[in-house]
Structure 1
Amino acid sequence: MKEFLLLIRESAGYGELSVEEMQASISEHIRWIESLDGHFKEGNPLEASGLTLKNQVVTDGPYVETKECVSGYYFLLANSLEEAGELAKGCPDLQRGATLEIREIINTDE
């Protein structure tokens, strides 16, 4: 199987969820991961704050004031990009308006 990176892009306000809303979201993601049946490798949420590098200059960012940010990632295992796309359709964040980006990881060991 090939490995794919799934990036979750959603409203920058995702960090403002209540503890109860965050726990419900985590539970939805756990159920989805369990349904992937061997197609899940790993994944994690990301902190809203970070650093941005451009032209060798480091700045704060992504900025919470921006409309959308990358909130998390998954590594999926699939035979094709199309199969990875079908697997991603079950991601709970889609129901909350998130955009998912799926990219095949190039194996440089081969």
Structure 2
Amino acid sequence: MKQFLLLIRQSADYSNMSVEQMQEDINNHIKWVEGLVQKGHFREANPLDGNSGAVLKQESETDGPYIETKECVSGYYFILAKDLKQAKELARGCPDLANGATIEIREVIDTDAE
């Protein structure tokens, strides 16, 4: 199987969610990940700290990420799929899409492959 990184670009405002809505969102993520695990597609996932980081360019460095931007990378999923088509099908089940997120899917190049 190939490895794919799903970058979650979040645009939802979770501060407007009730406690019940947040819990439902968490439960939806748990259910989705459990399905990925059961089918052998899950490798790992983590949220990213939205309050710290940096953006580097050749000659400059700025603080980031910038919460005032419309979308920021809020986390990632590392999944296994036979090809990009299957990775897209798996990503369509991500509950973040229902909250307005964008998911960028990138194949990870296996530099250890012979």
Q: Same fold (TM over 0.5)?
A: yes
Question: Where in structure 2 are the equivalents of 1:1-110 lying within 5 Å?
Answer: 1-11=1-11, 13-14=13-14, 16=15, 20=19, 21-36=21-36, 37-49=39-51, 50-110=53-113
Distance 1:55 1:67 in 2: 25
Normalised by the size of structure 2, how large is the TM-score? 0.85
3-state SS in 2 of match to 1:65? coil
Q: Give the partner amino acid of 1:92.
A: P
Once the two structures are TM-superposed, the CA of residue 72 in structure 1 deviates from its matched residue by 0.7
Q: Deviations over 1:37-59 (max 9, x none)?
A: 21011001111122111124221
Q: Give the partner amino acid of 2:45.
A: G
Unpaired runs of 5+ residues, structure 1, are none
Would the aligned equivalents of 1:7 and 1:100 in 2 still touch at CA under 8 Å? Answer: yes
Distance 2:56 2:7 in 1: 19
Would the aligned equivalents of 2:12 and 2:100 in 1 still touch at CA under 8 Å? Answer: no
Once the two structures are TM-superposed, the CA of residue 12 in structure 1 deviates from its matched residue by 6.9
